[in-house]
Amino acid sequence: MTRRARSEPPADPEFYEDLAERLRVAHRLAESLPERVRIVVIRRLLVVGESIKRDPWRASERLELLLAELRSQAEDPPTH
């Protein structure tokens, strides 16, 4: 996929399909977290979802960072 200027929203529907799938994955990963952590993560996901309207490129980047954090927590959960 060719990236256009960041000021232009992506025209490719596949971009949004991929973004939606990654949001679903992030929500599934969040469900396995302890409640106090899950609430914070879900709030972050809501912010990402809202920011898609204004800056889809940046929202995609933020989601990727959040997914990386969630995956690392799933692989190495904190011990209490």
Give yes or no for residue 5 having a pLDDT over 60.
no
Report the C-alpha gap between 26 and 74 in whole angstroms: 11
Note the pLDDT of residue 7.
65
**33-73, pLDDT tens digit by residue?**
999 999 999 999 999 999 999 999 999 999 999 999 999 88
Using a 10 angstrom Cβ sphere, with 0-12 exposed, 13-18 middle and 19 or more buried, the burial of residue 63 is buried
Q: Report the phi/psi class of residue 12: left, alpha or beta, with left for phi > 0 and alpha for psi in -120 to 50.
A: beta
Mean pLDDT confidence for 22-39 = 94
Residue 9 structure tokens? 């929203």
Give yes or no for residue 3 having a pLDDT over 60.
no
Note the pLDDT of residue 1.
44
